[in-house]
Amino acid sequence: MAVSRLEWDIIESRVAEISRRRGTPTKSWAFLWLVLDQFFPAADEERIESITDGAHDRGVDAIHVIEKEDSAEVFLFQSKYRDSHASTRKSINDNEALKVYSFIHDLFDRSDDMAQCANFQTQQKVRQIWALHDRGVFCRYNIVFCSNDEGLSNSACAILDELSKKFEQISYTHYGAARLVTDLGSHQKRLEKGQLQVIGRELFERADGNVRGVIASIDPFSFVEMIASPDKSSVKKHIFDDNLRIFLGQSGGYNADIIETATSDRSHLFWYLNNGITITCKSYSYNKGHTSPIITIEDFQIVNGAQTSHSLFEAHRVDPTALQNVVLLIRIYATDEPDIVESVAVATNSQAKIQARDLKSNAEVLKKLELALSERGLFFERKRNMHLDKPIDKRIDALKFGQVVLSYLLNEPEKARSESDSIFGNRFSQIFHESYDIDELLQIIKLYQIIEQLRDQYASDFSGQIESGGSYQYLIYGHWFVLFTAKLILAKKGKRAPADEEIQPLIDEAVKIVSIACSQQKSVAHYQMFRSPRTKHKILEEMSGKQMDLFQFG
């Protein structure tokens, strides 16, 4: 599809902004960052680890792995950025498709070439995937070609079709300029109107003061039609703005188990096995007393059922007839009261354990922390991106805050990533409390932010040749351990937080200690090394020459 001048200008502007803000090595790198932000908006920290772009990247510019209990989603990205509107008339050719084809075969065959000749970042991700295979985890592979040009050529599609036929767990897509621009504008509030087809007389309604509600069995095809974008290539992301769940991205929001239920010979049980969809709206209407009425809803949001929505859309996209035996349960609540809408969103999501962070976002202690930090010029984000209009170095996300506390104040850097769910779960009261010295806390946060900036700059400067950068290579996966080590250095001096002039020398010393400790574990992948408490003890041994008691630094 041809790229319009307007689409090119919008993307070029965003790419230039990212290049300035992050000091990226190329516009192509910045474009890839922009795309990853649309697919995985909640995975900002992992984005640095995902980018493999650089020399010897084997034709794959980013690898992002979403691990679940017994399955995993592996996203492989190949990115092409055209730096002039005239060059957007190009397409992704056979050679690029063949690179990915070869990568997949070498990955599955555990090729020596993959283990030895790929760049450092690619090797780390490959070792992570191989570890999943060794554990018997089923991996679904999603290949994403992202570009601001005319997309995949017909012959390139033929190569990829052959690959996806050979391996059923592999699918591919092109994420182009039109879809990217649509996603970039999706944060702007839009009023949506939709229609849903009721099945027979399976409908129940009630009203209580300023709220009305209807529960109905709905034809799934009318639902898919309602949530689909105008070009039918994706869902309308903005209709999930009030949903508490994390949206994994354009191609990552569906659930394979839901798709299987909807398309199997047990699809007639979907109504019984799925929790359905919850919608809030300003108003709804239908012809009462009629069989199979159409419900018209005005200014609506889907506040629960994002995965079900994306899964039904994906099943329908792959096979338009797949949902013929499915009946979908829908709850629609109409009210003008914002607090009721918020209560519905929280109540209907309260069973989703991964959303503990969102359910705690209005906790009184978080509001107090937000107020206290704002008095010092730092914007604490109880909810994701709630201060998006503020400079990035003046914001601290609640999750990131919790990881800083785990690493620095609680001496558990290995859990900052591997057990981050506990921050809003059983560790909540330990992490978020009113006993902080705010000035001390600000210095600790500043220390972390500079470590994070160095990590980002290092990843940008060295790109795919991370291992050639000496001690600082350990920042990519081990920045929480660098923060932890900085705390130990200060503790030996009897200090709890650094002064401004101490921060850079402190980081340099911490990086050196982490490097020496970790260089003794060359056979261990960085991904595994920095999830293990043994690495923490290696650091302690390096600092003292013997095992030390962590808690003497509390």
* Segment 55-69, tens digit of pLDDT: 888 899 999 998 876
Q: What is the pLDDT averaged over residues 90-94?
A: 94
Which tokens belong to 433?
């409390």
- Selected from 3.40.50, 3.40.91, 1.10.260, 3.30.530, the CATH number assigned to the domain covering 5-184 reads 3.40.91
Amino acid 175: pLDDT: 93
Question: H helices then E strands: how many in the chain?
Answer: 23, 11
Task: Name which residue leads in pLDDT, 352 or 199.
Answer: 199
Angstrom distance (rounded) from CA 379 to CA 230: 37
CB 201 within 8 A of CB 335: no
Amino acid 355: pLDDT: 55
Which of 293-297, 464-468, 548-552 shows the lowest mean pLDDT across its residues?
A: 548-552
Q: What is the pLDDT averaged over residues 319-345?
A: 84
CB under 8 Å to 84, separation ≥6 — which residues?
none
* DSSP track, 28-52: HHHHHHHHHHHH-TT-HHHHHHHB-
Amino acid 497: pLDDT: 95
The tens digit of pLDDT for each residue in 423-433 reads 988 899 999 99
With a cut of 60, say whether residue 248 has pLDDT above it.
Answer: no
With a cut of 50, say whether residue 513 has pLDDT above it.
Answer: yes
The tens digit of pLDDT for each residue in 353-376 reads 445 677 788 788 999 999 999 999
Among 18, 11, 279, 274, CA closest to 148: 11
Angstrom distance (rounded) from CA 531 to CA 534: 9
Q: Rounded mean pLDDT of the chain?
A: 86
* % of the chain surpassing 90 pLDDT: 50
CA 482: distance to chain centroid? Answer: 24
Residue 53, classified by CB atoms within 10 Å of its CB into exposed (0-12), middle (13-18) or buried (19+), is buried
Amino acid 390: pLDDT: 86
pLDDT band at 554 (very low <50, low <70, confident <90, very high): very low
The residue assigned the tokens 């199997």 is: 264
Amino acid 532: pLDDT: 85
With a cut of 80, say whether residue 254 has pLDDT above it.
Answer: no
Angstrom distance (rounded) from CA 159 to CA 142: 15
Which of 4-18, 125-139, 517-531 shows the lowest mean pLDDT across its residues?
A: 517-531
Residue type, 400: K
Among 288, 306, 256, 235, CA closest to 42: 306
pLDDT band at 351 (very low <50, low <70, confident <90, very high): very low
Amino acid 530: pLDDT: 87
Which of 309-323, 324-338, 445-459, 461-475 shows the lowest mean pLDDT across its residues?
A: 461-475
Q: What is the pLDDT averaged over residues 76-99?
A: 94
With a cut of 90, say whether residue 293 has pLDDT above it.
Answer: yes
Among 250, 357, 345, 261, CA closest to 300: 345
Amino acid 252: pLDDT: 47
With a cut of 90, say whether residue 553 has pLDDT above it.
Answer: no
What's the whole-model pTM score? 0.66
Q: What is the pLDDT averaged over residues 286-305?
A: 91
Amino acid 67: pLDDT: 84
With a cut of 80, say whether residue 478 has pLDDT above it.
Answer: yes
Amino acid 204: pLDDT: 94
- Please give the span between the terminal C-alpha atoms of the chain, in angstroms, as a whole number: 59
Amino acid 352: pLDDT: 42
Strand-strand pairing, 211-218 and 294-304: unpaired
Which of 172-181, 294-303, 447-456, 520-529 shows the lowest mean pLDDT across its residues?
A: 520-529
* % of the chain surpassing 70 pLDDT: 89
The tens digit of pLDDT for each residue in 392-411 reads 889 999 999 999 999 999 99
Q: What is the pLDDT averaged over residues 295-300?
A: 93
With a cut of 50, say whether residue 11 has pLDDT above it.
Answer: yes
Amino acid 253: pLDDT: 55
pLDDT band at 257 (very low <50, low <70, confident <90, very high): confident
CB 331 within 8 A of CB 276: yes
Backbone angles phi, psi at 218, to 5 degrees: -120, 145
Domain ranges in the chain are 5-184, 193-351, 364-553
The continuous run of DSSP H or E covering 515 comes out as: helix 503-518
Amino acid 350: pLDDT: 52
Task: Name which residue leads in pLDDT, 2 or 443.
Answer: 443
Angstrom distance (rounded) from CA 546 to CA 431: 29
With a cut of 80, say whether residue 347 has pLDDT above it.
Answer: no
Q: How many CB atoms are closer than 10 A to CB 94?
A: 16
